A and B are shown apart, each in its own frame.
Chain A
């Protein structure tokens, strides 16, 4: 049976797919699932995530046709939607919900806006690659990271920098 630490498990969709087949394992999986569902329902912890998921659905529906932006944008793929959903679910509960939008290349964009010249954004598509950029006053950051069901450390560091 694969063992996951609580911190890993609560940040990963692996939680629901990687446990063993024993009755105990299934029970634990079910308990974690219920706990996570309750968290999503909770106003204090989950409201923002639920809102982000709703925004994602709306943005995806608007971007399903070629040229959805009026200029020739690529339609969003379902794989991008799934990856974006995984990203939202992997966000720690203490991170504010991002604003969701679509990029013309069909990727999903998450943005945290904290006032003029204080903004951080990531884009995620159907692959495991995510692209990020941030503006913090006169400083800037950008890069590419791999998303494997857990939010990359550098993304969390940028969010801390933005929100501090």
Chain B
């Protein structure tokens, strides 16, 4: 698993309808709040758009959760916040955003910065 290039795109699949706003066309920071110190993302470089959605649908089916949207970022967006993106396969293309601080207010602020940079994508 090669390390991620700063220019490499990643995506966060969103399974909670309260974690994005279709009205404002934005991802909310709650989608980027870590669970057990990690935020699960997928590497999407060179994957065609239908394939990116197919990966999300696969997770959706496996976990019994509806896929509502996804938030696209560049790895450099994460690195600029003194966080890291570490490959974590299997499953294929999986990675984690790591390096989160302990203080929740700082976690929240970093998640808000990620949400500011994220591009909301809705399923076709």
Instruction: Give the interface of A toward B (CB within 8 A).
Output: 55, 58-59, 62-63, 67-73, 99-105, 109, 111, 113, 116-117, 119, 121, 123, 131-133, 135, 140, 142-144
Contact, CB under 8 Å: A72 / B105: no
B29 proximal to A (CB < 8 A): yes
Sorted from nearest, which 6 A-B pairs have the closest CB atoms? A70-B15, A101-B18, A142-B105, A70-B65, A133-B109, A133-B108
Number of interface residues, chain B, beta carbon within 8 A: 29
Contact, CB under 8 Å: A104 / B34: yes
A86 to chain B, nearest CB (A): 20
Contact, CB under 8 Å: B18 / A102: yes
Contact, CB under 8 Å: B21 / A99: yes
Chain A's closest residue to B35 (CB) is A104
Give the contacts of B42-71 with A (CB-CB under 8 A).
59-60, 63, 65
Q: List 5 A-B contacts (CB under 8 A).
A: A71-B15, A102-B16, A105-B35, A117-B116, A133-B109
Instruction: Give the interface of B toward A (CB within 8 A).
Output: 13, 15-19, 21, 24, 26, 28-30, 33-36, 40, 59-60, 63, 65, 104-106, 108-109, 112-113, 116
Docked complex Cα distance between A71 and B88 (Å): 15
Contact, CB under 8 Å: B16 / A101: yes
Contact, CB under 8 Å: B108 / A102: no
Contact, CB under 8 Å: B15 / A142: no
Contact, CB under 8 Å: A101 / B105: no
B11 to chain A, nearest CB (A): 13
Contact, CB under 8 Å: A113 / B108: no
B79 to chain A, nearest CB (A): 18
Contact, CB under 8 Å: A62 / B116: no
Chain B's closest residue to A143 (CB) is B105
Contact, CB under 8 Å: B109 / A72: no
- The residues of B that contact A111 with a CB separation of less than 8 Å are 28-29
Contact, CB under 8 Å: B35 / A73: yes
Known: A71-B40, A116-B116, A121-B112. A101 touches B19 (CB 8 A): yes
Contact, CB under 8 Å: A113 / B24: yes
Docked complex Cα distance between A160 and B38 (Å): 33
Given A73-B35, A105-B104, A135-B109; 20 other pairs, CB 8 A cutoff: A58-B18, A59-B18, A68-B16, A68-B65, A69-B19, A69-B35, A99-B28, A101-B18, A101-B28, A104-B34, A105-B35, A111-B28, A116-B116, A119-B112, A123-B104, A131-B105, A132-B105, A132-B108, A142-B108, A144-B104
